[in-house]
Structure 1
Amino acid sequence: MRLEQLAFLVAVQESKSISLAAERAHISQPALSSAISKLEDELGVVLLTRTRSGAQLTEIAELIIVKAKEVLDIIDDIRSIGKANSIELNGNISVASDPSVNITIMPDILTTFKHNHPKVNTLLKVGESNNILQDVKTGKANFGIIFNTEAFCQAKDISCKELFTDEFVIITGTNSIISQNSIPLNQALTLPILLYNTEYITNCGVSSLLRKYGDINVSYRVDNLEMMEKILSQGESIAFVPKFMADEFAKSNKIKKISIDDAHLEVSILLIWSNRHHLSLVEKEFIRVIKDTCTKKRQAAQAAQVVQAV
């Protein structure tokens, strides 16, 4: 039994296609099929059932893949020890990020990771949390950084790490008709609401949360933060965003932050990836940088709060 045979089997599960698995492994399809056939002969079991519509993994293959991933993880850990001080990591990573994270934390994540691993290319996409979840499910993105939405809670085969928690507040223009620093949630829901969404729909992570508290008055859907700021600065609409994103917007003299005085809309920020995707050394290092960066940001925010309290 060879490690590459196990890796090929895992690749077939992740890609859901022999041809795509072969392409990603940079070998021919016959060579990959031959490697798996030899593994079948050695184990004395059928791993792939081949039909006119394609090849399907058998139940025993799915059980073997669970153990194969554990073996490959251990091998990666061993390699990482040896490579830590000798060989530079290289490769590509695709990550999709919610805009709140993109404008606040992602710059530090990307620059830190690039500084440590200059030969790794990171491809970044910005999107709404539920859309990112679909990208991770379909393999368009290796990782996603999203809000913990209802859609995520119902998703299968997705792993996650909670990066931090926050709460939703309201942002609007500094010349808004809302003069107070806080308002009740039921009053806020009657105001024209702007949603950030990369699809022509109102069903997104934020809207699904707000609908738990009543009907919402959605007036705008935009997929551009600059447009979002321009519309909000007119003072006729509001947006619900995490506090750390609101603080970033509030640096402009065009936007102000308003608290919700009778509800606590907590939000968890999650790093997600597919269970069907075997994490490479590069990807594990990327996860470490994300976690470290978020921890430092959280500690800095807590220290700032202490200073303000004093």
Structure 2
Amino acid sequence: MRLEQLYHIVAIAQTGSISTAAERSYISQPALSSSVSKLEVELGILLFKRTNQGVQPTDVGQAVIQKAMEAIDLLEDIKALAEENTQAMTGSIHLAVEPFISNTIMVNALTTFKYRHPGVNVLMKVGESNNNLRDIAAGKADFGVVMKTCGQQEEKDLCIKELFRDRLVLLVSKDSELAGRRAVPLQEALAQPLVLYNTEFATDCWVSELLQKHGDYSVAYRLDSFPMLENVIGQNLCAAFAPKFMSDYFLNKGSIVPVDIADTELDVSIVLAWTKRHHLSLMEKEMMETIKSFSSMLQFIG
């Protein structure tokens, strides 16, 4: 039994896919399959079975994988002791981040983290939060920073760590008749033609899930480009809902004005999310702590 074989079976369990696990392990799919097959022969048991949902551990395989994760945890603790002295983290982190967060919190968080740990390669995908959660569940991202509706039921496979809470405001053009008002009623806001940020043609974005609880609304655009979203708002073609902590960012644009919602608090939660199947490495925990430190400056709602 070799240590890399333990990493391989944990990677398959986390992703539910041999091809994705091979990609994340930086080896070929045949090499990964061979590694697992040799381990199964050595142990005399079947670790995985193929289903319509992908590759799933057998009952005994799940028990072995749990022990493998515990062994990897111990190894990471040993590495941590060494890295406390060397301060030389290496490896890769795959992040899935909501665009409202990537344009604010992550700018400083990434700069600070890379300054401290130049040997770590950070790959960040920017996408709509519901889509990001699907990527996290599929093992395509190690963890994510996403928007969640307050009170929304959590998925049983997800670990959620709240960073802070906020509420939504309405973004309008400086030329809009609403721009001169401090606040507008929610129904008047919903009457505006809206632009929603969507990725990969999925329409179940977190904003629409929140708004549909409060009545009908009209969607003029669904865009996966944040600069284009800013452009159509600035040209007074539509309005959009965004978290209040982004107000300064949009005010600095000069063409967009945030307007409060007068009669309804559209509360949202900004969270870290990862699956219970994913073992958080030392560098991932360090990245999370860096994100948390910058998030603490943006607390609007207690």
Q: TM-score range by the shorter chain?
A: 0.7 to 0.9
- TM-score relative to the length of structure 1: 0.84
Q: Which residue of 1 aligns with 2:287?
A: 286
Distance 1:20 1:254, change over 3 A: closer
Q: Which residue of 2 aligns with 1:136?
A: 136
- Counterparts of 1:176 and 1:166, CA distance in 2: 24
Q: Which stretch shifts more, 163-172 or 17-26?
A: 17-26
2:190 corresponds to 1:189: yes
Partner SS, residue 271 of structure 1 = strand
Q: Which residue of 2 aligns with 1:104?
A: 104
Distance 1:126 1:4, change over 3 A: closer
Cα distance per residue 1:115-158 (max 9 Å; x no partner): 011111111221111111111122222222111149x7353422
Cα distance per residue 1:173-217 (max 9 Å; x no partner): 111111321111112111111111124454311011000000111
- Counterparts of 1:274 and 1:202, CA distance in 2: 23
Q: Is the Cα contact below 8 Å between 1:8 and 1:36 reproduced in 2?
A: no
2:230 corresponds to 1:247: no
Q: Is the Cα contact below 8 Å between 1:176 and 1:236 reproduced in 2?
A: no
Number of positions where the alignment pairs a residue of Structure 1 with one of Structure 2: 294
Q: Which residue of 2 aligns with 1:84?
A: 84
Distance 1:124 1:21, change over 3 A: closer
- Counterparts of 2:196 and 2:49, CA distance in 1: 46
Where does 1:65-80 land on structure 2 (aligned, <5 Å)?
Answer: 65-80=65-80
Tell me by how many angstroms 1:95 deviates: 1.1
Q: Is the Cα contact below 8 Å between 1:250 and 1:257 reproduced in 2?
A: yes
Q: Which stretch shifts more, 155-164 or 124-133?
A: 155-164
2:36 corresponds to 1:32: yes
2:267 corresponds to 1:266: yes
Q: Which residue of 2 aligns with 1:212?
A: 213
- Counterparts of 2:18 and 2:181, CA distance in 1: 60
Tell me by how many angstroms 1:255 deviates: 1.2
Task: Supply the RMSD in Å over aligned alpha carbons.
Answer: 2.8
Q: Is the Cα contact below 8 Å between 2:161 and 2:271 reproduced in 1?
A: yes
Partner SS, residue 109 of structure 1 = helix
2:175 corresponds to 1:175: yes
Distance 1:19 1:238, change over 3 A: closer
Tell me by how many angstroms 1:112 deviates: 0.8
Partner SS, residue 196 of structure 2 = strand
- Counterparts of 2:50 and 2:219, CA distance in 1: 50
Cα distance per residue 1:85-134 (max 9 Å; x no partner): 21511112121211110111111111111101111111122111111111
- Counterparts of 1:46 and 1:197, CA distance in 2: 41
Cα distance per residue 1:50-87 (max 9 Å; x no partner): 89xx9752113223433432342233123202212215
2:114 corresponds to 1:120: no
The residue type paired with residue 113 of structure 2 is F
Q: Which residue of 2 aligns with 1:228?
A: 229
Partner SS, residue 161 of structure 2 = strand
Distance 1:202 1:216, change over 3 A: farther
The residue type paired with residue 177 of structure 1 is E
Q: Is the Cα contact below 8 Å between 2:131 and 2:202 reproduced in 1?
A: no
Q: Is the Cα contact below 8 Å between 1:176 and 1:234 reproduced in 2?
A: no
Distance 1:20 1:37, change over 3 A: farther
The residue type paired with residue 34 of structure 1 is K
Partner SS, residue 85 of structure 1 = helix
- Counterparts of 1:146 and 1:87, CA distance in 2: 29
Q: Which residue of 2 aligns with 1:8?
A: 8
List alignment gaps of at least 5 residues for structure 1.
303-310
Distance 1:32 1:168, change over 3 A: same
The residue type paired with residue 117 of structure 2 is H
Q: Which residue of 1 aligns with 2:61?
A: 61
Aligned-pair identity in percent equals 43
- Counterparts of 1:172 and 1:191, CA distance in 2: 9
